[in-house]
Amino acid sequence: MADRQNGATAGERKLAILHLYPSLMNVYGDRGNVFSLVRRCQWRGIEVEVLEAGLGDRLDPRAFDLAFFGGGQDHEQSAVGDDLVRLKAEPLREAVEAGAALLSICGGYQLLGRFFRTRTGEEIPGIGLFDAWTVAGQRRHIGNVVLRSSLGGEERTLVGFENHSGKTYLGPGCQPLGRVVVGAGNNGEDGAEGGVYRNAFGCYLHGPLLPKNPWFADHLIRCALQRRYGPEASLPALDDRLEELAHAAIAQRAQKLRHQRSGAW
């Protein structure tokens, strides 16, 4: 049935995804998040264009509906930090204020806050999209993560893999994506994981995140569709049995490891 929103039927709907620094900011399979978003759109007949923006590229805030910013080590973060602030900060903020969706992972997430102070004391400026800041910790947090999120008013879990020394703290203008059940999360201290501002999300979950968390992938796609086609834009469900099995497998493995470490298993 034609799914008409603002003149666009399901078969005519298009989305543009912006992939930021794809060659520099891509650790632990983060690029797989873009593949997941593209396929979940295509399975619904939504045409997707992926725009890549690297060093020196300028952005048109109206040219994309969803942006992705992957993780990277301190060295890569230093390499992109100045370019991000000079050339991409304003259009990214403008796009998010206009309702664009955004997903950032670990190093990308850190650079969308106010700053990231590395172990050597270098302070890499962020763009301040998230009211958050990051300082290098004494230890690396490495392992599976399970968190409980009430995004969209529903209690659901997210699973992934973290590997970071940075400890991120949220100010009053940024809400956590969820509460940690297993793992460290933002800083290993306050039980929060990730950050949310409007339809922009940051978190420490590598993996890639989205293939094992289909509900969150669809939340991002729905935000992007509604930004482009209006609040009535809907998204038909997919058969996510395989994705849910992968989700459950990680959650069970993480819980088992936690019990083993606490001796309660």
Strand partners, 67: 18, 102
Q: Considering only residues 32, 61, 72, 81, which one is a binding residue for ligand GLN as defined by CB under 6 A?
A: 72
Classify residue 92 by burial, with Cβ atoms within 10 Å: 0-12, 13-18, 19+: buried
Q: Considering only residues 5, 38, 73, 151, which one is a binding residue for ligand GLN as defined by CB under 6 A?
A: 73
Task: Return the SS3 of 81.
Answer: helix
x-or-dash string of contact with ligand GLN, 1-20, rule CB under 6 A: --------------------
Instruction: In angstroms, give the least distance from the CB of 58 to ligand GLN.
Output: 25
Sign of CA dihedral 177, 182, 187, 188: positive
Binding residues for ligand GLN, how many (CB under 6 A)? 13
Map the footprint of ligand GLN across residues 145-174, applying CB under 6 A: 163-166
Phi and psi angles of residue 170, each rounded to the nearest 5 degrees, phi first = -100, 140
Q: Which is nearer to ligand GLN, 72 or 81 (CB)?
A: 72
Q: Is 193 in the site for ligand GLN (CB under 6 A)?
A: no
- Is residue 106 part of the annotated active site? The answer reads yes
Phi and psi angles of residue 10, each rounded to the nearest 5 degrees, phi first = -55, -40
Cβ of 202: how many Cβ atoms within 10 Å?
31
Q: Is 77 in the site for ligand GLN (CB under 6 A)?
A: yes
Residues noted as catalytic:
106, 206
Residues that bind ligand GLN (CB under 6 A): 27, 71-74, 77, 106-107, 110, 163-166
